[in-house]
A and B are shown apart, each in its own frame.
Chain A
Amino acid sequence: MEPVKTFAGKAVALPIDNIDTDQVIPAKYLKVTDKSGLGEGLFSVWRYNEDGSPNPDFVLNRPECAGATILVAGRNFGSGSSREHAPWALQDYGFKAVIAPSFADIFRGNALKIGLLPIAVDEEVYHQLVSMCEEDPSTTITIDLPNQKIVLEGNQEIGFNIDPFAKHCLMEGVDQLGFLLKEKDNVLSFEAKNPSRINTLAPAANACIY
């Protein structure tokens, strides 16, 4: 994983609340066994007309919004499914961060795991960002992960919270799995003290086997 520190990017606003993971990436794109096609599937219901041609009214399709790497969206972004395909799709499209008043829990965790920054701001800031992006599609925002702040043109700074461990992994460019693999001794000790009550490899004698 590439370390994430400070970066600046063009911001685009999708000022809709409760954008659910079915809108981010519909189920038909989830049949892949890798991560192919997800960028194309991002917001597909909004992006494409019925015949597959791009919908010119959708903000991401406007030429002046091309190359945006920061998405500004409404409350409870990413609600619904646990599909990690949702942050994968955003990342594959080119987004590096989503700024919103709030995020659904599972989406936030998934996004942090893959290096897509979920940045929560208060409602006032959200509305300000939406106005800025809508008035000027070339609006750039700088995201400073080490200092946990976003910096707007004109040097207005807004702090944000982030889980400290997730932040550490993102800044170092390390996968969280590495931390868990190092916990082997603690895991063995836990297992020794807590024998399991089930064994999926051995159903009761009188039960039907697979």
Chain B
Amino acid sequence: MTAPQTLFDKVWNAHIVRPQTAETPGVIYIDLHLIHEVTSPQAFTQLREKGLKVRRPDLTLATMDHSTPTTPRNELGIIPVLDPVAANQLNQLEKNCAEFGIPLFKLGSENQGIVHIIGPEQGLTQPGMTIVCGDSHTSTHGAFGALAFGIGTSEVAHVLATQCLIQNRPKTCAVRVDGTLRPGVTAKDIILGIIAKYGTGGGTGYVFEYMGSAIRALSMEERMTICNMSIEGGARAGMIAPDDTTINYIAGRPFAPQGEAWERAVAYWRTLPTDEGAVFDHEMTLNADELVPMITYGTNPGMGIPIDKPVPTFDDMPDAGSRQELDKALKYMELEPGKPLLGHKIDMVFIGSCTNGRISDLRQAANFLKGRKIADNVRVMVVPGSQRVRAQAEKEGLDKIFKEAGAEWREAGCSACLAMNDDKVPPGKYAVSTSNRNFVGRQGPGARTFLASPLTAAASAVTGKVTDPRTMLS
């Protein structure tokens, strides 16, 4: 009888093309390769130079998301790309996909959107798969019990040419979140809580498996929010075992198996959860009962605090390195140690990104903003994660709620998460953002980011200051 296996073990073992030996590396097969315009051009160039074809165009899908504008479409239904350098990069993706036979959801397509939003919504992301993309937030797809991780452009070329990757087996870390989320506390707060507790390097070398009652209770979109930010905790990937919630989400989606193939798929997926008695290399825990809305104050996603607590002081820091880091961060953010963040004036709110740009995130924000107006001093950008999310939101009238509140209703894309397009936080200005990174200059030169949940973002939009959403829930 074989030893009990974790979800990760099962997925990894099922994809070994060539096992790792003392002399040679391991090779794993990739079930789904997602592509976008920024990290692919040099990979296609390499294929062209070597006279190689894409081995499996039928397991590859491209979208445009990082540098695309989100300015609402004009009367002709067109979203014009005004930046010539970005336009060139987008055109290059289109040329590459046409030349190599890869399906592409381009700007203007009703299926276009952020790469980690479209995979799941199209039913392409499925349990037990290996999924890669030239983007670190590929970890998002792990919410389905897939092994999903980001790769660099050289590896993009590897997968295009061979559908395989050279990989050393990572270690496993169980991340147990038990308890029940209280009103006003969301999945985003869970992952911000984990990263605040264990740091941005805490997961280096590990694949996380999130488990526990709080995780089981989450919807697929909430699970995606958590897995999305696994990389911010340093992890290679983050996985959640499939269950009925997962199966119900996938059923009927455009690329999901159908008929007998569906039955076989479901039967296989049910064998994937971690076996009783399986051993992990490491463990982390978080108590959902005690969790409150989180917010980051500094310049990496680990610099987070409960929203009702003060910014740390130098005495709170364990060593000289972190004291120096805190000093730099607070100077950049113009914040004082030991002072509360609540009530800090803000200039912008960004609701969107692969972390929190799905329909349930928009519903949560719209529900809060219904019948309310945003503060005069705030610019609020609501950027749906994909055109399908956008269409669904409009069907539900969410766009009207956002516009009536005074927020901007935009097209789909990565937008202000990394500000490769014109959606930037101006220098020195403060933004509450539902995205995943608060690095120096991430949302624009000199931009000051507070990462938070869509609820916290909506509440702060109304008051014009950092606000605990629990104080405004009816």
A-side residues, CB < 8 A to B, are: 16-18, 20, 22-23, 26-28, 30-35, 45, 74-76, 79-85, 87, 102, 104-106, 109-110, 113-114, 163-165, 176-177, 179-181, 183-184, 186-187, 190-191, 194, 196-204, 207-208, 210
Chain B residue contacts of A204, Cβ below 8 A: 254-256, 258
Known: A82-B151, A196-B59. A165 touches B24 (CB 8 A): yes
Beyond A17-B324, A18-B325, A76-B200, 13 additional pairs, beta carbon < 8 A: A20-B439, A22-B440, A30-B420, A31-B67, A80-B232, A82-B151, A177-B46, A180-B164, A183-B27, A191-B29, A196-B31, A197-B126, A204-B254
With an 8 A cutoff between CB atoms, is B122 at the interface? yes
In the docked arrangement, what's the CA distance between A91 and B43, Å? Answer: 18
- 21 A-B contacts (beta carbon < 8 Å): A18-B325, A20-B437, A22-B418, A27-B420, A27-B442, A31-B89, A33-B89, A80-B437, A80-B439, A82-B152, A83-B152, A84-B154, A104-B234, A109-B155, A164-B25, A177-B157, A180-B161, A183-B164, A187-B162, A187-B163, A190-B29
Closest chain B residue, CB of each to CB of A26? B441
Q: Is A31 touching B85 in the complex (CB atoms < 8 A)?
A: yes
A164, chain B: closest CB distance, angstroms: 8
Interchain Cβ contacts within 8 Å, total number = 224
Q: B178 at interface (Cβ–Cβ under 8 A)? A: no
- Chain B residue contacts of A165, Cβ below 8 A: 24-25, 166
A184 to B55, CA, bound (A): 10
Report the bound CA distance from A197 to B31 in whole Å. 9
Quick check: A79 and B300 within 8 Å, CB to CB?
yes
Contact with A along B133-172 (1 / 0, CB 8 A): 0111010000000000111111101100111111010100
* Chain A residues with CB under 8 A of B150: 81-82, 106
Which of A35, A80, A210 is in CB contact (< 8 Å) with B109? Answer: A210
Give the residue of B124, B170, B204 whose beta carbon is less than 8 angstroms from that of A198: B124
Pick from A22, A32, A82, A114: contact of B135, CB under 8 Å: A82
Closest-CB distance, B298 to chain A (whole angstroms)? 10
Beyond A22-B440, A190-B29, whether A183 also contacts B42 by CB under 8 A is no
Task: Provide the residues of chain B in CB contact with A35, threshold 8 Å.
Answer: 42
Chain B interface bracket (under 10, 10 to 19, 20 to 34, 35 or more): 35 or more
Does B322 interact with chain A (Cβ within 8 Å)? Answer: yes
Give the interface segment out of B99-107, B181-189, B371-379, B451-459: B99-107
By beta carbon, the residue of chain B nearest A195 is B261
Q: A190 contacts B257, CB within 8 Å? A: no
Report Cα–Cα, A45/B444, bound state, in Å. Answer: 11
B17 touching A183 by the CB < 8 A rule?
yes
For B57, the closest partner residue in chain A by CB is: A201
Report A-chain residues with C-beta under 8 Å of the C-beta of B309: none
A109 to B205, CA, bound (A): 12
Name which of A26, A199, A200 has the most chain B CB atoms within 10 A of its CB: A200
Contact B255 A199 (CB under 8 A): yes
A181 and B105 in contact, given A22-B441, A201-B58 (Cβ under 8 angstroms): no
Q: Are A76 and B234 in contact (CB under 8 A)?
A: yes
A207, B105: Cα distance in complex, Å: 14
| CA of A180 to CA of B46, assembled, Å | 15
* Complex CA–CA separation, A79 to B254 (angstroms): 35
Q: When the two chains form their complex, are residues B166 and A180 in contact, meaning their CB atoms are under 8 A apart?
A: yes
CA distance A186 to B27 in the complex (A): 10
Is B201 an interface residue, CB under 8 A from the partner?
Answer: yes
The 8 A CB mask of B358-390 against A (1 = contact, 0 = none) is 000000000000000000000000000000000
Chain A nearest CB from B119 CB (Å) reads: 10
Measured between alpha carbons, how far is A164 from B61 in the docked complex, in Å? 33
Closest 6 CB pairs of A and B: A207-B254, A84-B152, A82-B150, A110-B152, A33-B41, A165-B25
Contact A33:B88 (CB < 8 A) given known A183-B27, A186-B27: yes
Residue of A nearest to B391 (CB): A208
Contacts of A203 in B (CB 8 A): 122, 254-255
Residues of chain B with a CB closer than 8 A to A81's CB: 135-136, 150
Task: List, in ascending order, chain B residues with CB within 8 A of A184's CB.
Answer: 162
Q: How far is the CA of A204 from the CA of B55 in the complex (A)?
A: 23
Is B445 within 8 A of A45, CB to CB? yes
B58: which of A23, A34, A190, A196 is its contact (CB, 8 Å)? A196
**Cβ A80 vs Cβ B136 within 8 A:** yes
**Contact indicator B17/A186 (Cβ below 8 Å):** yes
